[in-house]
Amino acid sequence: MRNHKVSLWALALVGVMVLGAMLWAAAQAPAHAQGGDEFELPPGVTWDDVNAIASQMYCDVCEGTPLDECESIACRQWREEIARQLAEGRTEDEIIDYFVERYGADVAALPRDKSDLFLVFAVPTALALIFGVIGARQLWKMRQRGQHTGQPVRRSAHSSTARPMPDGLDPALLERLARELEGED
């Protein structure tokens, strides 16, 4: 039994050493930019600049994948093109418009057309306001009736007697149940 425990500890120690060696090797490996070794950024352009624009776009090959996270060859080429255009002095909007003209409106994270952009923000805001007004009106009506939020609704006394009751039911038990249900006890 003791040898079995020693061998488990030795196995765990070896596992930790292997994991540590792998982490050390990964830390020592040279960091590669997202564009890979074959592309060198133009002077004055950083990967942060490129990714700031790429985060506002989607890959048209890998549907639903943001361009700054996609690792396909096409996305790398797009990021390289963004870097080239930044080096030429183009603005963020000009670069995104270039890709929208070339590949379609689906590559932009937000609609480029001002009317579509208005709808993207106006419709949810209008719905939130409408439902907020409806909810506020319902609360106002409840308070007008004398009820407060979280207050149990009291049943009228005559409704419990109007219901059919089984024969032989103790009236004291019925009264106690009514008080407990209404929170008086």
* pTM of the predicted structure, to 2 decimals: 0.44
Q: Are residues 105 and 129 in the same domain?
A: no
Q: How many domains does the chain have?
A: 2
- Rounded Cα distance between 125 and 120, Å, is 9
Q: Let me know if residue 157 belongs to a domain.
A: no
Q: Are residues 59 and 108 in the same domain?
A: yes
- The answer on pLDDT for 185 being more than 60 is no
Q: Are residues 140 and 118 in the same domain?
A: yes
Q: Are residues 134 and 102 in the same domain?
A: no
- DSSP, residue by residue, 3-58: HHHHHHHHHHHHHHHHHHHHHHHHHHSPP--TT-TT--PPTT--HHHHHHHHTTBB
Q: Let me know if residue 183 belongs to a domain.
A: no
Residue 35's CB is within 10 A of a number of other CB atoms, namely 18
CATH code for position 79: 1.10.8.640
End-to-end CA distance of the chain: 63
- Looking at residue 133, its pLDDT comes to 93
What is the domain extent for residue 81? 47-112
Q: How does pLDDT run across 132-157, given as a tens digit for each residue?
A: 999 999 888 887 777 666 666 665 55
Q: Let me know if residue 165 belongs to a domain.
A: no
Q: Could you give the C-alpha distances from 67 to 45, 84, 140, in angstroms and in order?
A: 17, 16, 49
Q: Let me know if residue 25 belongs to a domain.
A: no
Q: Let me know if residue 21 belongs to a domain.
A: no
Backbone angles phi, psi at 64, to 5 degrees: 80, 5
